[in-house]
Structure 1
Amino acid sequence: MTALAEQAPTFDCRVDFGEELAALARADERIVAVCNDSVGSSNLVKFREEFPDRLINVGIAEQDLVGVSAGLANAGFIPFVSAAAPFLTGRALEQIKADVAYSDRHVVLCGQSPGMAYGELGPTHHSIEDLSWMRAVPGLRIVVPADPSQTRDAVRWAAASGLPSYIRIPRFKVPAVTPAGAPFEAGRATRLAEGDDLTVIAIGTMVSRALDAAALLRAEGLTARVVNMTFVEPLDVAEVVAAAEQTGAIITAEEGLLSGGLGAAVAKVVAERHPVPVRMLGVPTFAPTGSTSFLLDHFGLNAEGIVKAAREALGRV
């Protein structure tokens, strides 16, 4: 566990997802939830109790899950599609591409328990490919909240956006990191710490760990800017360029595959606009079986791993 997590309470963001979705449904009868026999794991039990006619359970049939939701959107509803991230994005990728993104339907895809949150269930249940898959689909907005506040913001934003979107809903408990009153806008990152020597751009579970790494680097006389990117698509290009121009190196940190995710998106901008050293932290291959904390540490997705990457990028090995 990271230092920030030790000092502050941590939260299961599925609770905030369920509560915010129910609050939206009370105010807007178009809001419906669609799931794949995942009412409990999506924290939709209370939603079902309050809105029994507005929760549709298609069973373990993810392709139908997305197709039905696209039809609901076409009929004027705002469907929140909730399922375990590996099965929602893997089994239904064709429907996400054709029925949602290509057809430009206002469907909110909610990937529950993403990354390695299902640690002990092994690679079949790890969702480390989802960011790469979803980034390859044109027109799909990709949101990775870092804490409860951003989870609620993401649900509200997606409901009002009128756009097809994919939200990662964290299961692995995280501390609150978002400053009170911080804006939540598509394509806008949140700068959580200032620094001149390097920038750490992180998403989701890695944001609190990036803040811990910045504290460790300060003890070594290095100042690290910490950026919570939140939207992987659209990316905050201006924030990435500013990091490249104003600091000496960039570290990216994500709980997902190194190919095609946040790091790849950032590296493309840096290479085209202002080249500086970039080190990408993520998952290089299928993960073994173990707790989420073990797996994050196994791949160096912790404060110490970020510090090591920073030293390498700055030539201080």
Structure 2
Amino acid sequence: MNSMTVVKQDLREVMIESFHRAVAHGVNLVTVVSDSTSTAKIAPFQSANPERVVNVGIAEQSLVGIAAGLSLGGHVAVTANAAPFLIARSNEQIKNDICYSNTNVKLVGLNAGVAYGALGATHHAIDDISVLRGFGNIQIFAPTDAIEAAQIFDYAYAHEGPVYIRLDSAAFPHLHSPDYVFEVGKPDLLIEGSDILIVALGSVAHEAVDAAKAAAETGLSVGVVSLSSIRPLDKEAYVDILKRYKQVLSVEEHSVHGALGSLTAEVIAEEQLGLKLTRLGFPEGQFSKTGPRDAIRAYYKIDAKGITETLKTLG
């Protein structure tokens, strides 16, 4: 089990630190933003490296096309803008200019899930994973904390080819100890258990860990695994973890269609594991409610309290 400290860090700050680190190590990195300098917290990097920041304005399709062009010119191009606009407005460009063309672009989707809260469905990104899982030739990651995010960014810059990083724009405590080593494709088992396994995506892993600890006080043994590496995924390793439990609960700040719940259902069915699966997230075919983010999480029971209540019905 990984230990959790009280340290909190905004994952966007981790991204900016990774930019500085990459340039210091000789990576020919250029970031591309679409009038999203404040969203990306990019000012410190832009001040130190003005020639490495391209702002295309509110033109997300151009952002992706320019990033593709920069990569063809020998740069490691990194986009940094809001996930809902990156994925929805630039859908065709991501498919053709990045994935099909195999350009060395790293797409960072900021403010993923319902981070924009009261701004509503136009600003919620609850379908980004399902869209990109439908595209070929792109790796997909969703870090849970600063320690893991830093390593995922370093991996992405070293990897030749398209990468999407679903980044939560908030400060979270560390779920991992300082000696944690991210392994691409490997399911990240945060808590060992024996009765129910919670499978979590991104920052809701924090809610899942809190719920598992609460369940332990009632005698229910709940494990928590984070699938921070959606693609590639070591299916054999994931199956090995799933087999240790009686039933599975997936939790994601995403539609239950096409992302973590769907992926887990596919694995259970294909491997004939015979496990009961319950999925928590936004109902298939629906937009999320509008309101403060915490209230949205509570409404759909993807906060610690809601997960705990669901565990009681399963246990």
Question: Would the TM-score normalized by the shorter structure come out above 0.5?
Answer: yes
Assess if the C-alpha contact under 8 Å between 2:117 and 2:290 holds in 1. Answer: yes
Cα RMSD between the aligned structures? 1.7
Structure 2 matches for 1:93-104, cutoff 5 A?
Answer: 93-104=91-102
Task: State whether structure 2 residue 159 is matched by structure 1 residue 156.
Answer: no
TM-score by length of 1: 0.93
Structure 2 matches for 1:141-290, cutoff 5 A?
Answer: 141-273=139-271, 274-284=273-283, 285-290=286-291
Distance (Å, rounded) in 1 between the aligned partners of 2:250 and 2:63: 33
Cα offset, 1:312, TM superposition = 3.8
Question: Secondary structure, in 3 states, of the residue corresponding to 2:176?
Answer: coil
Distance (Å, rounded) in 2 between the aligned partners of 1:149 and 1:61: 32
- How many residues align? The count is 310
Identity %: 33
Distance (Å, rounded) in 2 between the aligned partners of 1:41 and 1:14: 9
Cα offset, 1:182, TM superposition = 1.9
Which amino acid is the alignment partner of residue 290 of structure 1?
G
Deviates more, 1:42-51 or 1:177-186: 177-186
Consecutive unaligned residues of structure 2, counting only runs of 5 or more, are none
TM-score by length of 2: 0.94
Cα offset, 1:21, TM superposition = 1.2
Distance (Å, rounded) in 2 between the aligned partners of 1:161 and 1:42: 22
Distance (Å, rounded) in 2 between the aligned partners of 1:271 and 1:180: 36
Give deviations 1:169-196, integer Å, cap 9, x for gaps.
2113322101222221221121111111
Aligned to 1:111: 109
Aligned to 1:55: 53
Distance (Å, rounded) in 1 between the aligned partners of 2:202 and 2:243: 25
Question: Secondary structure, in 3 states, of the residue corresponding to 1:227?
Answer: strand
Cα offset, 1:288, TM superposition = 2.3
Give deviations 1:270-293, integer Å, cap 9, x for gaps.
111112001111112212221111
Give deviations 1:138-157, integer Å, cap 9, x for gaps.
11111001011111111111
Which amino acid is the alignment partner of residue 73 of structure 1?
S
Assess if the C-alpha contact under 8 Å between 2:193 and 2:221 holds in 1. Answer: yes
Question: Secondary structure, in 3 states, of the residue corresponding to 1:286?
Answer: coil
Assess if the C-alpha contact under 8 Å between 1:172 and 1:205 holds in 2. Answer: no
Give deviations 1:22-79, integer Å, cap 9, x for gaps.
2212222511101101111101111111111111111111111101111111111100
Consecutive unaligned residues of structure 1, counting only runs of 5 or more, are none
Distance (Å, rounded) in 2 between the aligned partners of 1:311 and 1:138: 39
135 and 251 in structure 1: CA distance in 2 versus 1, 3 angstrom threshold: same
Aligned to 1:307: 308
Distance (Å, rounded) in 1 between the aligned partners of 2:48 and 2:170: 27
29 and 163 in structure 1: CA distance in 2 versus 1, 3 angstrom threshold: closer
Distance (Å, rounded) in 1 between the aligned partners of 2:140 and 2:163: 6
Aligned to 2:77: 79
Cα offset, 1:308, TM superposition = 3.2
